[in-house]
Structure 1
Amino acid sequence: MTAPPGVLAGVDIGGTLTEVVLCAADLGVIDRFAVPTPAHEGGTAMVSAALDALRLLLDRTPGRLLGVGIGAAGVVDAPAGRILVASDSSFRGWAGFPVAAAVEEALGVPAYLDNDVNAFLRGEVARGAVVGERHVLGMTLGTGVGGALWLDGRLYDGPHGAAGEIGHVPGFGDLRCTCGGRGHLETLASGRSITARYAERTGRTTTARGVAEAAALGDPDAFAVYEASGTAVARAILVAAGLLDVTTFVIGGGVSRAWALLEPSVRHTLTDEPPVSGRRIRVRPALLGGDAVAVGAASRARAELGPVIRV
């Protein structure tokens, strides 16, 4: 009797939800499960919640677990599998936590940690909007703005682990950013900034989704906020294209669900200011949705395990 094939697990530990997926060797999702993230209860509680979800999936899915990839918010030391820096307002007891070691000890299989935006880009390259691309910049427009860089067919972290962090590039006005700087892309293109800019114009407080719904109904203030956001994203794309000669971009995150509102100003700006290379810039909305980080984390595990995995 042939044994069932091995499976890979991918975990996305976000500030609100933790999603776990089981993947086949080709990274196709077999099953998924999401649980609330106990972000204010510390690293042990967060990893325990992820492990409970993973065990539930393993109980109902045949196959031997080969390895686990984890994508997590914050600055991470990927080789050490440890969180370096995390927002105190979103997480408690997360900075310094040895995530990979805790998962390995609990499950007895190799585990690998990535920053969540890096994992998002891995996922979109492996199974999403930019499959097979050699050079890509990934951007996530969520509560904040994150970025990751794929060069010569592999993730490029940079010498200090911050390569691709387009959200905190200055030159976008003078508004104060959540990081303490001024004029960063995040002040115009994040969900938090969209709600703030709309409130400044109208005196009304809502969510980024609420602003998008208002724009779709013809609210000129809501439309203007999204137009400014799209223009800022396009300018950041042009900066990256000029510095890195990268001309393929994938955009994800919650704000990107309103791509129909962002795209016109993105396209208009890119048409008016083509990159110095003269090459056409391709901007693609992400395809994997909420699975992107978890699938990307699983792809990291697959790459690290190498010969153990047969596609």
Structure 2
Amino acid sequence: MTGLYAALDIGGTKIAAALADGDGTVLRRARVPTPRGGGTAVLDAAARLLDGFAAEDVAAIGVGAPGVVDPAGRVVSATDVLPGWAGTPVREALAERTGLPVAVVNDVRAMAYGEARAGAGAAFRRVLHVSVGTGVGGALTTAGELERGAHGTAGELAHLLVPERGPVPCGCGRRDHLEAVAAGPAIAATGDPAGAGGVLGRALAGLLAVLDPDAVVLGGGVAQIGAPFLDAVTAAFRAEALPPLRALPILPAALGTDAPLVGAALLAKRAVT
């Protein structure tokens, strides 16, 4: 086994690729805008990115893909954040294009696995991972392992109902969902990261009473805004949470926007070792 793994992070606006070693350390990066035209166009662009690593002895590919992904690596459900994506057989199609073993999970689960194994979640047993970017996503890990749930949606929070009405629709089309208020497009429309952070913090106060994890790790592109967003999330959560939960750690992702790439690479390694 070479110890080199390729990783893909497929998103609504860009496809990122990385070459990583067996510890998840990113050695090389590449990215392109996400093409329109459905799953075939997206996977063709992803495969071309991986061609840049062709000179390396890559053992396997890990993919973080938007939507609900079944154990066979097929997207069974997706919002319009990536039109024409639902039904795409990601693992099968990339394996045919590359001739390599392919592991596929939801993109936020890839981020969560990276943070649980090599980032901010590594010191905690049960963690809710929240990603805020073009959309809002969530995933749960326990002892460094992903929780899938009965239908592959464990930890998802984009569609939590909120009293506010978003300036742009959620990926599913509704405006009374958390994603419509707290995701990047909503913040761009209002210019109010603190307001969006407050909505997310209040939503977490209710959700964490149900899940009762050891910590929350907050990542994604919007989290890179820093204090105006993160401080608002934390303050709103502490003000609304049940007393036993108020001291629960809410941590920024240690791996930044590399988290899904690190997680995908580590999942690729796991698939072949």
TM-score above 0.5: yes
What is the 5 A alignment of 1:33-112?
33-38=30-35, 40-59=36-55, 61=56, 64-77=57-70, 79-88=71-80, 90-92=82-84, 94-112=85-103
CA distance in structure 2 between the partners assigned to 1:105 and 1:285 by the alignment = 37
SS in 1 for 2:75: strand
Q: Percent identity?
A: 39
| Matched length | 271
Partners of 2:221 and 2:257 within 8 A in 1? no
| Counterpart position of 1:296 | 263
Q: 1:22 to 1:89 in 2, by over 3 A?
A: closer
**Equivalent-residue separation in structure 2 for 1:146 and 1:31 (angstroms):** 26
How far did 1:69 drift? 0.8
Q: Distance in 2 between matches of 1:123 and 1:89?
A: 23
Aligned to 2:179: 186
Counterpart of 1:46 in structure 2: which amino acid?
Answer: V
Counterpart selection for 1:226 from 187, 193, 197: 193
Structure having the higher helix fraction is 1
> Which residue in the other structure is 2:154 paired with?
163
Q: Deviations over 1:185-230 (max 9, x none)?
A: 223211222234x2xxxxxxxxxxxx3xxxxxxxxxxxxx333222
**Change in CA separation of 1:46 and 1:226 when aligned onto 2, cut-off 3 Å:** closer
Please tell me the residue identity of whatever aligns with 2:147.
Y
* TM-score normalised by the chain length of structure 2: 0.89
After superposition, residues 133-152 of structure 1 pair within 5 angstroms as 133-152=124-143
**1:171 deviation in Å?**
3.5
Q: CA RMSD in A?
A: 2.3
Unaligned runs of 5+ in 1: 199-210, 212-224
* Residues 152/279 of structure 1: CA separation in 2 closer, same or farther (3 Å cut): farther
Q: CA deviation at 1:299?
A: 1.6
CA apart distance, 1:182: 5.3
CA change 1:154–1:275 in 2 (3 A) is: farther
* Offset of residue 145 of structure 1: 1.2
**In 2 relative to 1, CA 122–229 (structure 1 residues): closer, same or farther, beyond 3 Å?**
same
Higher-Rg member (1/2): 1
Amino acid across the alignment from 1:47: L
Could you tell me how far 1:261 is from its partner in structure 2?
A: 0.5
Counterpart secondary structure, 1:95: coil
Distance (whole Å) between structure 1 residues aligned to residue 157 and residue 208 of structure 2? 12
Give the CA deviation at 1:136.
Answer: 0.9
What whole-Å deviation, never above 9, does each CA across 1:226-247 have from its counterpart, x for those lacking one? 3322221211222232111113
Alpha-carbon distance change, 234 to 42 in structure 1, aligned in 2, over 3 angstroms: closer
TM-score scaled by length of structure 1: 0.79
What is the deviation of 1:14?
1.6
Q: Deviation at 1:276?
A: 4.4
- Mapped to 1, the partners of 2:207 and 2:141 lie a distance apart of 12
Q: How many Å separate the matches in 2 of 1:168 and 1:261? A: 24
Q: Which runs of 4+ in 1 moved over 4 A?
A: 174-177
Corresponding residue SS for 1:172 = coil
Distance in 1 between residues matched to 2:183 and 2:175, nearest whole Å: 14
